[in-house]
Amino acid sequence: MNFFKMFFATLLAMIVFLVLTVLFFIGIIASASSEKEVAIGDNSVLHLKLDAQITELQRENPFADLPVIGSDRENIGLVQLKQAIEHAKTDSKIKGIYVDISHPMTGYTTLEEIRLALLDFKKSGKWIIAYGETMSEGAYYLASAADKIYLNPEGEVEFNGLVVEIGFYKKLFDKLEIKPEVFRVGEFKSAVEPFILEKMSDANRLQLTELINSIYNHVLGRISESRNIPQNKLKEISDKMLVRNAGISQELGLVDSLLYEDQFRSVLKKHLGLGADDKISFVKYGKYLKSFSTDKTSGNEIAVIVAEGTITPGKSSGSDPVIGADTYVEEIRKARENKNVKAIVLRVNSPGGEFRSSDRMWRELTLAAQAKPVIASMGDYAASGGYYMAMACDTIVAQPHTITGSIGIFGMMFDMSGFLGNKIGVTFDEVKTGEFGEMYTITRPLNDAEKAFWQKDLDEHYETFTGKAAQGRHLSIEDIKKVASGRVWTGEQAKERGLVDILGDFNDAIVIAAQKANVASDYKVKYYPQQKSFLEELVTQLGENTKASTIQSELGDHYSLYKQYQQLKNFQGAQARMPFTLEIH
């Protein structure tokens, strides 16, 4: 039996090694071929299929052309997408852009950045046409930048406003006999509410109502400008959900015509001056990126540090965006010490995370700002810990619907003694040398002294947060605390309250940085942290996919509970984290 065990184990190892070797050499060949510049034919249409996850920077998927787990994971980088649109503006071979969109996976600020790039493209005199079988609220917002919007005759446009829906777990925890032990500072710091309430608090309902109305009013204003429909009319259409089908969408002026795909292609052919039997030369976004280079030669560098994801201790790793404090402290320090870097732009797209990690990066950004201009550019989110980073910068640039602020602190632990003892029959006991026991424990409730300790600890963190915010924004502590208490604001609201300096996009932040560094006529932009090599990404994703698949196969239907548990673990300790995530549907 031992012989057969050894034999099959060795055989399995050889198979795994062979598969990895084959994938490695396929990757080298694919990587080498991808570096060759792609030729674009005359009279072409840039096809932007935007139903994908859109992140700040494009993350290469080494499995993209391979029949393995993870090969279908689509990703578009906002930076690269804007570069493609900007280059197409002056590319004589590109006659127009076809925006193919139904359900983009991103936030309104990212959509606004793309929308502005499309509007700038139209200044060239070239056309943009949008088409979809269905369009979500976010998809339609982006499509409204096009000259013409076409919809499938049996399709539909979602146009009924924004909704924030929050799930509450109190009843679940009551049934499981799990007691959350919550500490927070700020009446609007509502990230803990799902664990202790069955519905929103009045304070949270107030802030969310004002937040989504601010965002949506901006959205309707932009659509009104593009579609030449009065904003109050758009509000009525949305409030009453008058759009029930494609025909009504056309009658109300939201779309121009209802076309099947073959009819839409006929429209494109007319724009290109082609005959009925001629083929359209479509150029996909990924291919178009390989047809040009954005590299510039200059001794002056503007370092763009892209901080995307949840803030955590340790290093950034894996394919999902995470702001690991160790990684980013090192990147900021290197940019500060590099004499060729004349200015730093911190691109923040983060709902926050661990408090001390946020504070470490704040310190490094403060030191950098003493040496050279440091400008913050806010993406979809720059809240709580994300705002903590930004407030160290000289100038903060945000979009009107960026979600920011949330200056507050919370911490949470879980007393699972009832669940462990009464549900599964496991009990614990302890001995200790003093009044305090294990401070991070799930096996018993905290005593009064321990609770007082944690609350005082968070109170002190809050004073630190507000004090540094006042320092960075040149406001009094009293003025900062009026807009703090964990409350979230849109970029537009934040500017009115002194939390943001300028309403603008990422390009505006770059221009400001170049001007402040006196290199406006001669500079290049470089992005950090630098992306992993093909081989590093391949090994990382193989490990992640294998681990996830193994755990899922072992846990079966309980895998979703495992993922929730992993998320709950991140809430332990002091947190500077936004209270919710706004998703576009």
CA atoms within 13 A on the CB side of 564: 11
Of the residues 189, 342, 468, 495, which is catalytic? 189
Active site (annotated) includes residue 384:
yes
* Alpha-carbon distance values, 457 to 183, 243, 433, 574 (Å): 10, 52, 22, 9
* Alpha-carbon distance values, 126 to 271, 282, 481, 508, 576 (Å): 10, 16, 49, 24, 46
What the block records as the tokens of 426 is 């496991």
Q: Can you tell me the distance from the alpha carbon of 99 to that of 129, in angstroms, rounded to the nearest whole number?
A: 6
Of the residues 136, 238, 384, 406, which is catalytic? 384
Burial 537-556 (b: 16+ CB within 10 A, else e): bbeebbebbeeeeeeeeeee
Q: Is 1 helix (H, G, I), strand (E, B) or coil?
A: coil
CA atoms within 13 A on the CB side of 146: 24
Active site (annotated) includes residue 287:
no
The stretches of 91-136 forming alpha helices (DSSP H) are: 108-122
Please state whether beta strands 94-100 and 257-258 pair in parallel, antiparallel, or not at all (unpaired).
Answer: unpaired
Please name which of 413, 410, 418 lies closest in space to residue 440, comparing C-alpha atoms.
Answer: 413
Q: CA dihedral in degrees (547, 551, 554, 559; nearest 10)? A: -160
What the block records as the tokens of 235 is 């509000």
Q: Can you tell me the distance from the alpha carbon of 301 to that of 30, in angstroms, rounded to the nearest whole number?
A: 31
Largest CA distance in the chain: 88
What the block records as the tokens of 501 is 């300096």
Q: Can you tell me the distance from the alpha carbon of 386 to that of 25, in angstroms, rounded to the nearest whole number?
A: 40
Q: Kindly list the catalytic residues.
A: 189, 384
